[in-house]
Structure 1
Amino acid sequence: MGFKFCSLSSGSSGNCQYVETDNIRLLVDGGMSGKRIETLLKSIDVEPDSIDGILVTHEHIDHTKGVGILSRRYDIPIWANENTWVGMESKIGEVKCENIKMFTTEKQFDIEDLGVYPFRVSHDANEPVGYCLFYKNIKISLLTDTGWVNNSIKDAIKGSSLYLLESNHDVEMLKVGKYPWYLKKRIMSDVGHLSNDDAGKLITEIATGKGEVVLLGHLSKENNYPLLAYETVKNIVLDAGIDIDNDINIDLTYREKATKVYNF
């Protein structure tokens, strides 16, 4: 069966990713209602009661809204670092003690047959992380909600078969948009979100040209368009001499529906 990945939803209205190996099914974040997550899981023929665990990146509500609900409803363990637990505990409600799982950022651990490496990112949360997930000889890397990407992050995620990378906003749309200036500054800051240009540049620095999948995620509803994100990233990648028909596969994630299920 192998390694499977699907982005169930990605954006400021809610984030939830699905990962499956031969022996385990996990969610990364659960930033929508429990009912919505259940519906999205069923849309890819996965029953919610088959989920074995939830990994949390950080405590913001668009990543945690449904986490506690699902844990209580299906008796699901939740993994997060201690500072994220502190930040989200009051938001997700009471969880069974045995379902509170803590890890140390930048220290790899295993959940059944899945290797998990939580790496530090730059965002205005208590201790936000991205994840590298390992199964057999395949690596998947999930990097959203960060204002910048340092060499440590690039080294951690490079060589993945699939990337979920933030492509949150178009800088000019954000600058002239309706957001108040303080919010614009926050989004463009080192603890905000990566722009389309940032995403394109990052891909040129990590791509190996071995057919890896790059999913553009966490697109802003107000400050981006899916086609604009795709075209901006595509043009940067093409200018770097990377063949998007053969070297890599760039695609989009969605707020309102799941992507296809990627199999490795």
Structure 2
Amino acid sequence: MVDLRDEIEKILEDKGKLSWAEEEFSAILTAPAAAKRVDPWRRTSGFHKLRKREELVVVRELWIKRDELARELDISQGRLLSDLAISTLAIASQVQPLTNKKQLEKALRPIGIRARWMEYCDLWVSAIEGALAIPTEELPPLKVKGDGLPHIKIWRERFPEKYIPLSHARPRLADAAAERELPVENLLTPEFMRKICWNYGGNSASVTEVASDLASWGARQWQIEITAPILSACLDEKEALPEPVKEEATEQEGENEAEIGQGQ
């Protein structure tokens, strides 16, 4: 392993990337613990099918009980009760009683029951009963306001001033990454690029301002030195680049040209 380390170090040094790697290693060693997710149970598979707050609270209580048990047994949550099973039980809880093993099996039969799920049947029943006993005013809201950015698919139509710099930043960062033989996501976290375009879209921002923001979000110094000037320049653009032609369309055009050629 020492020989491998030495060889990798030599390669990085030859490519002028050793200092980048050292900065990455240092950042990993000193990185704080990841922030705890708010309402992680809302990420349960099948959650999008829920339409009632009474269903949400069942998901929450089942998720919490499953999480506690999984930690105690040091086992994957999904092996105890799958996400799909949780959302299925939540929906079923509004149309049929779920107070014993037989009733749980009936509700889960359409998705295929796993024997392991039923080993802790009493715990699941208790969680469901506890959820259904919670007063209406204490039920979780159907939706919570997220702190993330809108999906980029809607930027062009609904937020054109944000989309303009984004349309330029994507290819320019991709080119900068290719020049340095890097995946573009290693050059800069894509979310940081989107946040710069969103926060400043429609306005200019100096390299110093962009660099300051990138640093506050955790970008490395080597990343900032390369990408801050690029992003700052993109913010000065006045028109969006045309959307890239999809590969499927390009392939279809090629097939059509081939057919025309054969017919001549």
Shorter-chain TM-score bucket reads under 0.3
Bigger fraction of residues in strand: 1
The structure that has the greater radius of gyration is 2
- Structure-1-length-normalised TM-score: 0.25
- Structure-2-length-normalised TM-score: 0.25
